[in-house]
Amino acid sequence: MKKIITHKYLMFIVLFINNNSFINAQKNHLENYIPHENTSLIYHPKLLIKTWVHIIQKNYEDPQNITKDSIEFIEDQFKWINQMYKNLKKPSLKAMDGTSPYVPNSRIEFIIDTISFHVDEIGWDRIKMAPVTNPHKLIEIIKIDKKENSILVKGQRQGFRPLQDSIIITNSCCNDGIYNTKSIERQGSNTLIVVEETFNKTEINIGHVSYFQKIDKNCHKDNWLKFTGENKDYLHVFYTGASHDAKTFGCGPSPYFLNVSKILQNGGYATAQLTAHELGHCLGLRHTNSPQFDDLPRTDKFGWIKCNNINTSNNIMGYNLCRNYLSPKQIGFIHSQYSNVSALTRTTKNNIINNNKDIYISEDKKWEKSILISGDIIIKKGMTLEIKEIISMADDSYIYLEKKSNLIVDGGEIRNINNNWNGLVFCKNVFKPNKKPLLKKNIGKVILKNEGEINY
């Protein structure tokens, strides 16, 4: 079999760009990627996102998270999430143009590939209060007054909120410790703090005041680095916790990882709604209070309130209690990204061969959008398949060209993200792949036009 190979290349792509000109350019072709109700699964296949779930426990004695004997909790979460993306409801608010655009099924599914458990308190604790230790942020003590239970510190700090709850005295002679603030007020060019507790001794010009600050790693990538080595073959879902008093929260900052914390403190379905929202961010969707696409409402009220037909949408990417709708262009954008950007295609299961998804071209076809192909393509006798965009073949797949068939790549590309597909087979028919037509003129033809490429 002769290989048709053009140049191979590496492409570095910024995955999520908030540039308005980019988004406007995208809108023009999104219609091709919207899986309307009656469209073919060949032309609009279901997008299968591979997820790797990481359960991070606080410690062995007190995990404060899911344990190995309750994995069904996670399985239920993803059943609900997939139902949300599959069984979409109609929009509660009209789009900017007054219409109610609707697609009943996003054809997006999240597949749990692996569940891992980790015991790591630092990784578990996504929001915590911790003492400030940076010497440049410590506040110089002028005087500690035992009689008045007061401390005079340098500078005007009366409006500094971290000092209004408690203070930490360090590097003093006899008063190091944590003290609860009773009052705080300006005294000249300095600040006087009165505490609830009693000091041990009066001191002058010794030590510093520190304070607690909130350390928020909800959106931080440290767990992705530590537990996966920056793996980009999956969307990693981290279920974590927090020592800070907070309700269930999450963040989806990357196509490769997201965090959801304190899942046991929320209702199961509400947690699934939150995770579905963060997954949407990972897939490239923004909040709906500022519309990303023109088939969304011009405004959307946020605040954990019920959706309505006045000012609050039911969009998964909104802050509402319904979260059961995505607009057609939101959906089309996701399909477009994962069909065109090879780095994103790598996180899908669509590039794994499945011969139940072989595609038979039994009439002339022109594909004018990028498509993820999970099976072989068989171009039947005398038929023509024309490729105008990117066709991503599954690993170990083939394209069979039967007698007198034609494959035209017009400005498009046929590829496999791992450079691991088997290429073209010229045969009399697919059931006899090793037997070619007797006459050379009857062998299937490949035509490359307008810099079209076939890479393998």
**What confidence tens digit (pLDDT) does each residue in 26-60 have?**
556 899 999 999 999 999 999 999 999 999 999 99
CA distance 20 to 36: 26
Burial of 261 (0-12, 13-18, 19+ CB in 10 A): buried
Position 230 pLDDT exceeds 70: yes
Position 8 pLDDT exceeds 90: no
Instruction: Identify the pLDDT of residue 6.
Output: 38
Ordered by where they begin, the domains of the chain are: 20-125+217-342 (3.40.390.10), 129-215 (2.40.30), 351-454 (no CATH)
Instruction: Identify the pLDDT of residue 1.
Output: 35
CA distance 29 to 287: 22
**What confidence tens digit (pLDDT) does each residue in 411-443 have?**
999 999 999 999 999 999 999 999 999 999 999
- Per-residue pLDDT band for 21 (boundaries 50, 70, 90) equals low
Instruction: Identify the pLDDT of residue 12.
Output: 32
Half-sphere exposure of 29 (CA within 13 A, CB side): 14
Instruction: Identify the pLDDT of residue 2.
Output: 35
Instruction: Identify the pLDDT of residue 246.
Output: 85
**What confidence tens digit (pLDDT) does each residue in 58-95 have?**
999 999 999 999 999 999 999 999 999 999 999 999 99
Position 19 pLDDT exceeds 50: no
Q: Between the CA atoms of 130, 157, 193 and 181, what dihedral angle is there, to the nearest 10 degrees?
A: -40
Instruction: Identify the pLDDT of residue 24.
Output: 55
The mean predicted confidence, pLDDT, of the chain is: 94
**What confidence tens digit (pLDDT) does each residue in 118-138 have?**
999 999 999 999 999 999 999
Instruction: Identify the pLDDT of residue 25.
Output: 56
In the structure encoding, which two tokens stand for residue 328, read together? 């057609």
List the beta strands (DSSP E) in 278-412: 359-361, 365-367, 371-372, 377-379, 384-387, 390-392, 399-401, 406-410
**What confidence tens digit (pLDDT) does each residue in 344-401 have?**
999 999 999 999 999 999 999 999 999 999 999 999 999 999 999 999 999 999 999 9
Position 20 pLDDT exceeds 70: no
In the structure encoding, which two tokens stand for residue 5, read together? 């190979």
CA distance 365 to 351: 22
| DSSP sequence for 69-126 | GGTHHHHHHHHHHHHHHHSPPPPSS--TTS-----S---EEEEEEEEEEEE-HHHHBS
Closest by CA position to 145, among listed 116, 98, 104, 187:
187
**What confidence tens digit (pLDDT) does each residue in 169-227 have?**
999 999 999 999 999 999 999 999 999 999 999 999 999 999 999 999 999 999 999 99
**What confidence tens digit (pLDDT) does each residue in 139-148 have?**
999 999 999 9
